[in-house]
A and B are shown apart, each in its own frame.
Chain A
């Protein structure tokens, strides 16, 4: 079967999934959550004021029409306006995406590459002192609270040594660079523990396979065996793990963004939750869901490229 036909078919499957996701979001936001007019007008609003506002927000219409609004926004990305700032939500997202992505993309790429490199290195020295100490270090790093990394980083590297900006953000390249270096480093440090342990397990699973012994019996060197034979087989679980993280990159990092005052989507989402700005929270939920579904399709497509055993059925 043709790869394009497969992709189109997988994309058609997205439609029912998306309708289901919209239903869940609709139930959560339109049916379960408290009356938005109370939040927007406060306790002392008159009934007629509330009526007017409900009509303005379209909340007087049938539930089915309101559900259709959610579905429509999932396909068109028109989310309406924020209740608190009255801005177009899509414009807010566009503005917030840049700081978030300038932080999350380099951090994600770096942490993935570094973790896989360390895991290959450690797997090569499996069972030795090097291997054991790295695993020990990983567990230690995982056991320390992320707040400790952030506070220590800001105090020591930014405040004491003055190498980086303590917090803040500036738009445009290269102005943003000094602001994101420290959060990127912290992000990488935070990911290193769990990632190295995960990749190491995957690679060790492969290293003890029979085909590796065959490769050695052929006379291949350990480097070729690692990078060609083992890594290509390990790519299958690695792809799943890596790609499924990507949708969340647009969110940036809630904690890092708020500690470093980066005006990214993480911060926007956090503020929206604090001020009960439901349209924004809803928009972010829809956005992540759509991205998640699309990237899971991408994962399936990539499988077929890496693993010949995956059939395009």
Chain B
């Protein structure tokens, strides 16, 4: 078993809105292991990005607030350490890349400058020249051609894929323990997506960091992750090792997600006539039903799911396989 480097316990994040307080993340438990990739999957608004931002303590506050829970990183609760200490961890031990490569870099500084800034902050022993060399080395590492030239260029001179590579170079400059990737390929076209994912897999093998891969794309999960957590309405509904999850989904929601991946029929090679979808809509966080949050969209819902026995909790239903469902599928 790999070393556990991050453990999130019972995380609750609330947002104050004009219509009242909503709980965007509700009792999430996650573990990240060295050299492994944890996938966090879910629809928009399921709380996956908020979970990621909480680890970095980047929840905009106000209106956001971490109401409960602990995030243990190597024996320290990140939610309780002083802010200055958190700043020493950000970008250094835990780094993050974002969904929007086009806007995540500062337009008025060169990419070299922005990579060097992280080094200047966390590796004070490096001289100016060493920082420049390291920036070029990082750009080379993420597969940017002629890095000596690119290092003096501005973000607008690079394509979206190149910018995301720069973001990766920047986040890995201090060789972090954990890389949080918040939908890193969503804004990129498919061929570039594959390149970026491959690059992240390769760098993970070289540097041995743990990755939290946040995505709504199960294809990305299949390609990159070791473990997967499926989120719905701010809660984890299913958690398993990746193959197990794809082969034996236990929660009807997970099954629905997997079935709605476009594919060709495995026996005839024909395109399926109709792509199965999950009927209905995600309930509003302002007014969640009693019992299971998925009840209205579930074909197997019973009175038990509608609140007669409270909310389903995440419980083990196999080796390293948990689901929050009263009627798991197998």
- Residues of chain A at the chain B interface (Cβ within 8 Å): 127, 209-211, 213-221, 229, 232-233, 306-309
Contact = CB atoms under 8 A, between A and B. Distances in A.
Contacts of A211: 103-107
B192 interface: no
A217 B154 contact: no
Contacts of B91: 217-220
B106 A217 contact: no
Contact of A308 (B89, B90, B103, B107): B107
Contact of A219 (B87, B98, B105, B110): B87
B154 A309 contact: yes
A298 to B, nearest CB: 19
Contacts of A209: 103
Contacts of A220: 87, 91, 117, 121
B103 A218 contact: no
Nearest to A306: B108
Nearest to A311: B156
Interface of B: 56, 58, 62, 87-92, 95-96, 98, 100, 103-110, 117-118, 121-122, 154, 156, 167, 170-171
The 4 closest A-B pairs by CB, nearest first: A219-B90, A218-B91, A219-B91, A210-B103
Contacts of B92: 219
Contacts of B170: 214, 218
A213 B87 contact: no
A219 B89 contact: yes
11 contacts: A217-B58, A217-B90, A218-B90, A218-B121, A219-B87, A219-B90, A219-B122, A233-B107, A233-B108, A308-B108, A309-B156
B96 A217 contact: yes
A210 B95 CA distance: 15
Given A218-B118, A233-B107, A210 B98 contact: yes
A127 B63 CA distance: 10
Contacts of B105: 211, 214
Contacts of B121: 218-220
A216 B156 CA distance: 21
A214 B107 contact: no
A15 B137 CA distance: 50
Given A216-B90, A219-B121, A220-B117, A232 B103 contact: no
A214 B118 contact: no
Counting chain B CB atoms within 10 Å of each CB, the highest count among A210, A306, A309 belongs to: A210
B149 to A, nearest CB: 15
Contacts of A233: 106-108
B58 A210 contact: no
A232 B88 contact: no
Nearest to B180: A217
A127 B87 CA distance: 23
Contact of B108 (A127, A218, A307): A307
A309 B104 contact: no
Given A210-B100, A211-B107, A220-B117, 15 more contacts: A213-B58, A214-B105, A214-B170, A216-B58, A217-B96, A218-B91, A218-B170, A219-B87, A219-B88, A233-B107, A233-B108, A307-B108, A308-B110, A309-B107, A309-B154
Contacts of A217: 56, 58, 90-91, 95-96, 98, 171
Given A127-B62, A308-B154, A214 B117 contact: no
A215 B170 CA distance: 11
A309 B105 CA distance: 13
A302 to B, nearest CB: 13
Nearest to A212: B106
A213 B105 CA distance: 10
Nearest to A235: B108
Contact of A213 (B62, B104, B154): B104
Contacts of B109: 229, 232
Nearest to A214: B104
Nearest to A230: B106
Counting chain B CB atoms within 10 Å of each CB, the highest count among A218, A229, A233 belongs to: A218
Contacts of B107: 211, 233, 307-309
Contacts of B62: 127
A309 B156 CA distance: 7
A313 B103 CA distance: 24
A216 B57 CA distance: 10
Contacts of B154: 308-309
Nearest to A308: B154
A104 to B, nearest CB: 31
A213 B90 contact: no
Nearest to A218: B91
